[in-house]
Amino acid sequence: MYSNDTYPNYEGTISNEGLIKFVLKSAEFRNCEGKREQIQVLRKNVPRIRIEQICKILGISSKTFYRIKRIIEFDSLSPTKPSNSANLTFEDERLLLEFIYNSQVS
């Protein structure tokens, strides 16, 4: 995240608009592949940015913003690990394959 030392204004603190302009010029933002990454960069580096500002900057509707946000939240969920009880042992797998083979042959 960019601090006040990186881009200070005359009072020594950074304004929200100044920080947004700085982030838009940054290589991190310019190298984003899509709107999803651009939204993530903006929200990470400008914590107080409003949704309407993001929509205006990126030229998207609020409906599109919330659709992308839902995708971002879905991607951030950790994938669930299958339980050990769902895995077959080698013996169970061998018996299952043998049963399938016998039913196909006969």
Tens-digit pLDDT profile for residues 29-87 = 999 999 999 999 999 999 889 999 999 999 999 999 999 988 888 776 656 665 666 67
3-state secondary structure of 82: coil
Contacts of 4 (CB under 8 A, 6+ apart): 12, 13, 14
Helix axes of 51-58 and 62-76: crossing angle, nearest 10 degrees: 110
What's the pTM?
Answer: 0.58
Residue 29 is predicted with a pLDDT of: 93
Tell me the C-alpha distance between 61 and 54, whole Å. Answer: 10
- Cβ-contact 44, 1 below 8 angstroms: yes
* Residue of 60, 67, 69, 40 whose CA lies nearest to 23: 40
